[in-house]
A = this chain, B = another copy of it.
Amino acid sequence: MKLFEPLDIKGMVLPNRIMVPAMVTRLADEQGAVNQDVIDRYVRYAKGGSGLIVVEAMAVHQSKAGQLLRINDDDKIPGLTELVRRVHDTSDSKIVPQIIHFMKVSLSGWRQTVDMLSIEDIDLIVEQFGDAVRRARQAGFDGAEIHGAHAYTLASFFSRRNTRKEDPYEGQSLEGRLHLIGRVMENIRGKVGHDFPVGIRINADEFIRDGYTVGDAKLIALRLAQLGFDYLSLSVGGKFEDAEHVPGTVFFPYTGYSGDRCMPPAWYPPAPNVHLAAEIKAFLNANGHHLPVAGAGKLDEPDVAESVLAEGKMDFVGLARGLLADPDWPNKVRKGEIDRLVKCDYCNVCKHLAGTHNKVNCFLWPKGAIQAPADQPAAGAPSWGPDKGGLSLTMQNGSAVLTWKKVPGAARYDVYRADDDGKVHVEDAVKVTRWVDGGILAGMRYRYYVRACSDTGQTSTPSNSVVIEPQMPAAVLASQSVHSAA
């Protein structure tokens, strides 16, 4: 499989094409030092076989942001060194820090914007990025990733909503919007040299009113390639401009429409952003640049991830929530153990925890766990018994209501559905023995089964299947009778 071919990023050789993109964990304290929980989180990904692990983001400064790793001072280097050592001792996964600068937000909803930064503020940011990457190299990281996506400082300069005027960083020209990143990269290279892999993550589309689209993103990507960035990781959305703010709470830039697009919820189709990455990669290649390009967004179906690579739309794939749910995704897929995957159901509990400054875990993990359970052999999984779960289905107001029996040892149940096309998808993961599907349509045929899952990721065989072809409503029958009579 293309997924398991190595990828050489300026000497940082990923053992495969699977990346853990930066995900806030809220496991560090407000000082932002590495602790055992942080180490356990990232070692777990290494154990599962991901090719590239991007850590958190970690901040170049000490500005208030709740529990977030920091790389703002040399006193952070020992902790980061230990984190890197533990990951390297575990597997041949590569590990890089995502390095972020963000502006101030207040509980009242006020937020700092790029036009409020003085030239001295900007000069400081430039130095802070360089120093942070220097510390990353000192700590033994395999490279570094600059955070130029979502709602944060660099992305706010890239944005079409950049409101600065009449200075080299002004928002009226693309060159102005890109001036800061040029200075940042110069500073970084001055401090770590040109042989240290430095990637960057940006938005392929801001998905906000008056924001930039893939049209600008192609040109931004070209500039980043010109500046010598070694890989490009693409995300979308996640902006403050359309975020909902409840006064007195933290302003979280993933609560609006652009937040939906950034972390697509359950009802979004698979891989909704792939066409954007493909367009940007094709543009870079056409302009003579070949830095590896990754994208993200509901790529956790193994055949989807594989085809995205095989079709040349990306060079490596980011699976955030998919790897949070099951850090063993790479090893299981490599061994063909697709049935043993713990499949993310995109409930976005993890997003909610990050936004409310709680330790980020996964709804599919054992209750109260702050780390994914160890991989367990399939033996010892919950068992349905002779009636295979007794799954039954009734229709209620156009929805399919599924019920099944409780099984000893089951911590949750995964509901699978196959539509007309025969492909099976996880539709939901629930802790009760009832599930309602409001997304079906008469004229299609749906097959369901349920699997019982233990706290530790052991999964039963599928229950009995039930099939429904919902009854056509009267209006359709009326139309069809005319046409069959004709």
Contacts and interface: CB of A to CB of B under 8 A. Distances in A.
Interface in A227-276: 227-228, 242, 256-260, 265, 267-269, 272, 275
B186 A478 contact: yes
A267 B213 contact: yes
Interface string A417-449: 000100000000000000010111111100000
Interface string A191-218: 0001000000000000111111111100
Contacts of A440: 173-175
Contacts of A475: 182-183, 185-186, 227
Interface stretch (A28-36, A73-81, A466-474): A466-474
Contact of A479 (B215, B227, B480): B227
Given A257-B208, A269-B214, A482 B194 contact: yes
Nearest to A228: B479
Given A175-B399, A189-B482, A473 B272 contact: no
A170 to B, nearest CB: 6
A176 B398 contact: yes
Given A174-B441, A223-B443, A441-B175, A228 B482 contact: yes
A109 interface: no
Interface string A377-413: 0000000000000000000011100000000000000
B268 A474 contact: no
Given A172-B399, A175-B397, A209 B257 contact: yes
B257 A242 contact: yes
A460 to B, nearest CB: 29
A374 interface: no
Contact of A189 (B170, B444, B478): B478
Given A175-B473, A257-B257, A267 B480 contact: no
A168 B183 CA distance: 60
Given A226-B472, A475-B182, A482-B189, A438 B269 contact: no
B189 A226 contact: no
Contacts of A476: 182, 223, 226-227
A44 interface: no
- How many copies make up the complex? 2
A474 B242 contact: no
A215 B440 CA distance: 11
B259 A209 contact: yes
Given A160-B267, A208-B257, A257-B257, A179 B226 contact: no
A335 interface: no
Contacts of A257: 207-209, 211, 242, 257-258
Nearest to A265: B210
Contacts of A367: none
A438 B267 contact: no
Interface string A163-178: 0001010101111101
A228 B485 CA distance: 14
Contacts of A212: 267
Given A268-B213, A268-B215, A269-B215, A226 B479 contact: yes
> In this complex, which of A185, A436, A478 has the most chain B Cβ atoms within 10 angstroms of its Cβ?
A478
Contacts of A173: 397-399, 438-440
A414 to B, nearest CB: 20
29 contacts: A166-B397, A168-B397, A172-B438, A173-B399, A173-B439, A174-B438, A175-B398, A175-B441, A175-B473, A179-B473, A182-B474, A183-B475, A186-B475, A194-B482, A210-B265, A211-B257, A212-B267, A213-B267, A214-B269, A216-B267, A219-B444, A222-B444, A223-B441, A226-B442, A226-B472, A226-B479, A226-B480, A227-B475, A257-B258
Interface of A: 160, 166, 168, 170, 172-176, 178-179, 182-183, 185-186, 189, 194, 207-216, 219, 222-223, 226-228, 242, 256-260, 265, 267-269, 272, 275, 287, 397-399, 420, 436, 438-444, 470, 472-476, 478-480, 482-483, 486
